[in-house]
Structure 1
Amino acid sequence: MSYSEKPKVSFWLRLSQVELDFITYAVMAIIIVSTLWGVREANLWRINHFPHAQATITRMWPATVNLSHGRTKAVTLAEIAFVRTHLGKSYDCKNTIEVGEPDTTFRVGDHLDVVPRTGSCYNALIAQQLTTSR
């Protein structure tokens, strides 16, 4: 190697701090987005592959949910009743779920297509609103 040639430097050593920060934040954003996407896909998979039940909203009320750093959010909670069938046996279920913001379109008496967690009456996902009681 002659004195006029520059020594080879690794790609990572040639990057400035701003470029390294950008790469770090981009990787973190990709991890967060892929995690959120994975949760969404898991719920969609559950809706498409697990048994459904027809639920009726029996009671609704407004509530406040505590978020991080002292913030709160107004939501509407609903008590739903449905019959879950597993291996030929029927189980009467009552569960409380969040149905949205205070100005939600759900009303008492509405029928919902729900997918409860396997083997339980809890953590029911709303697949769709079947009928409205208006």
Structure 2
Amino acid sequence: MKRRILSSLGVLALCGGAVLGVTQTATAGETGAQAGYFWLFQHDNYGGSSKNFSGDDRYLNNTNWNGTSSRVDNGASSMKNQTGSDVVLYETNGCSGPTYFARPNSVDSDFSNNNFDNKASCVDFR
């Protein structure tokens, strides 16, 4: 009887440890923490400050990089689209003008090759 109780307690301890291990906090640089967001990055290769979006933001002139007081408007150089949605970036606040198109679950480490470096002023989920 004692052996059965101790065995049951051991199984519960293992299960409890497994549950605790699953709930660990991830950093913004990890895929799990970024999943479900569209990310803009200040520099090429996902460097510098970042800003995550889960929906439209038509006026990036009113949006700051995460943890800063610097505006995102006309300051993005790379992106990660880790959503299931197409995302269109516009050159003008209010979502007009020339565009940049990001397919679902795509990345672009350098907007220069698309002639869109430091031009994003609107984020539009489709």
TM-score computed with the length of structure 1 as normaliser: 0.30
Between Structure 1 and Structure 2, the one with more strand by share is 1
Which is higher, the Rg of structure 1 or of structure 2? 1
Structure possessing the higher relative contact order (Cα contacts under 8 Å, 6 or more residues apart): 2
